[in-house]
Amino acid sequence: MSLAIRLFGKPQIERDGVLVPPPRGRKTWGLLAYLLLCEGKPPRSRVAALLFSEADDPLGALRWSLADLRRALGAAVTATGDPLELRLPADASVDITAITAPGEEISFTHLEGELLEGVAFPSSPVFDSWLGMMRRHLDGANRALAHDEALTRLAAGDTTRATELASQLVSKDPLDQAAQELLIRCLARAGRGREAERQLTECEALFLRVLGVAPGPELRSAATDTTRSAPGAVGDRDVALGQLDAGQAALDAGTVEPGVQILRQACAEAAACQDASLQARALASLGSALVHAVRGRDEEGAVRLHEALRLAEGCGERAAAAAAARELGYIDVQAGRGPSAGRWLMRATELAEGNEELCAVLGVRGMALSDRAHYGAALDLLHRSVARAERCGQRRQMAWSLSLIGRVHMLRGELSLALPPLDESLGLVASERWTAFQPWPEVLRAEASLLMGRPDQAGERLDHAFRLACQLGDPCWEAMGARLMGLLAADASNSARAGEQLADALARANRVSDVYQWVHGHVLDSSARLAVETGAENAVEIVDRLAELGARCGLRELVVRAHVHRGRLGVSGALESARILAAEIDNPALEVLISSAVPV
């Protein structure tokens, strides 16, 4: 017997290709969605409180709904135990698990609508809150996969389908600069230059009218991105190799723009000599440079990396393919596109050979999991990354992964465990003279000092980190520094100054289109906390922005924190929602936060 469950759009169940009568109770649909989407196996008491709190016998109502679910799904399905476990046949098809399962190849057009479309649960406000959060999260995942597919199609030369997908993304959110850039690039690559220019003009006018700022210069660059060969390339392999080495050397020396230009020349030269392996390596290097060395160019970098991956897999250039997949995963992690990030990082893991590449892949996977508050699994991967990096002498990778280990422990309130990896990371950064990365662990270490009750020490560390971040012009590092300045001002009871600094941090975090959403979210969280405590007029607006971002990007801890802020604002059921969502996150600090939350 085949089983197909559709929860996107109007919910329905098919057995052997035939629609079956739906469950008798509306809440049975909610129960099915919850069991399919919650992290781990939930205790019966939690599910009963979530869905049936108004019933005289919540556990009895849950048993009835489980029986209703088994009747609708068929004899091959079991939903038993405490904690509850739903077991489906191995060949069962479930649309919502397909969109959240890394490695699944699905088409964006197959997932129209929203989770349990048209179904509401007014008698269960906590579950209704959970459902709203999951709807936003799955919509974000759906968009991420559409974005990913559009890039893949564009790299393959299928500009027609790529343009269709990009147009759908823009129609859903015209203020999504990444989607606008993708559409403009697709039009330019398709030889539709006038349409690309018209889209650019309309986008600039929209952003100025609605946001008060023009989109970044990368959109204009996308409008001139054609497939025409670069002038001056003669097809000399030795020249291409020399340019590839020279470009990387320039980047290592900190001369970014010349290095990127040389790598562009290397790509053109490799293409002219029709050496697929060399072209894949050059494109992978250029894509990586655009992602890490030039802010605001992640979309262009992603296009180059997709092209590199396609060529590399075609000619067996495994190392370039692994690096390209890893960098594509990194882009999606920063953008909060969890499902597509997971797919790329799985592919990178499969392709990686040797400790040098594996330690990098493990580091990005650890970053992805820690951003989404899967802290135990993240620590395991990050420690493995450090161990492999140490074995192959990749000291910069050690510093990078150690900083994230420190971040996890700090988020969990484990300051004694956070200090050693942060201090070791800073020591490695100093010995490697890795100035471009230094502000990140330095700001984290300064925040640890503040949390330990040492604001003077935190201020001294922060002063250097923030000045360096501004010199580097990195909006992520700058935003983290400005946020901590706000926290220091709040610690000194200077609410006005704290508000100014946090507003500045938000502006810095969003200065470019390729925002690191975890940083953006944590700045919002700090802003929301201050706004709630001071009774600011825009407190509800900031908390809503935090909740929206956290849900859309799958940043689970930020969703919990948004519910805590709402609880402090007096929103009924918000703290209970926070407790239920926090039960899926292994973070003692969250438990303390929720238990100590009182309305202002």
Phi-psi sector, 148: left (phi>0), alpha (psi -120 to 50), beta: alpha
Task: Assess contact for 115 and 94: CB atoms under 8 A.
Answer: no
Instruction: Answer yes or no: are the C-beta atoms of 248 and 259 closer than 8 Å.
Output: yes
Provide the pLDDT for residue 336: 95
Any idea which architecture 3-123 has in CATH? Orthogonal Bundle (1.10)
What's the CATH fold of domain 138-223? 1.25.40
pLDDT the model gives residue 293: 82
pLDDT of amino acid 294 = 78
> Tokens 């890893």 — which residue?
326
How crowded is residue 16: how many other Cβ atoms within 10 Å of its Cβ?
A: 10
Query: Is the Cβ–Cβ distance between 136 and 554 less than 8 Å?
Result: no
Structure tokens at 263: 């790598």
Say how far apart CA 564 and CA 570 lie, in whole Å.
10
Alpha carbons 334 and 356: distance in angstroms, whole number:
22
Q: Residue 352 burial (CB < 10 Å; 0-12/13-18/19+)?
A: buried
Output the six-digit token pair for 353. 């050979």
Q: What is the pLDDT along the chain (600 residues), one digit of tens a residue?
A: 689 999 999 999 999 999 999 898 899 999 999 999 988 899 999 999 999 999 999 999 999 999 999 999 998 899 999 999 999 998 899 988 777 765 545 444 456 789 999 999 999 999 999 999 999 999 998 899 899 999 999 999 999 999 999 999 999 999 999 999 999 999 999 999 999 999 999 999 999 999 898 888 889 999 998 765 566 677 889 999 999 999 999 988 878 899 999 999 999 999 999 999 999 999 999 999 999 987 778 999 999 999 999 999 999 999 999 999 999 999 999 999 998 999 999 999 999 999 999 999 999 999 999 999 999 999 999 999 999 999 999 999 999 999 999 999 999 999 999 999 999 999 999 999 999 999 999 999 999 999 999 999 999 999 999 999 999 999 999 999 999 999 999 999 999 999 999 999 999 999 888 899 999 999 999 999 999 999 999 999 999 999 999 999 999 999 999 999 999 999 999 999 999 999 999 999 999 999 999 888
Helix, strand or coil, per DSSP, at residue 169: helix
Total-model pTM:
0.94
**Domain parsing of the chain, residue ranges:** 3-123, 138-223
What token pair was written down for 217? 């210069």
Closest to 414 in 3D by CA, of 568, 586, 541, 192: 586
Separation between Cα atoms, residue 561 and residue 532, nearest integer Å:
12
Give every CB contact of residue 224 below 8 A, 6+ residues apart in sequence: 188
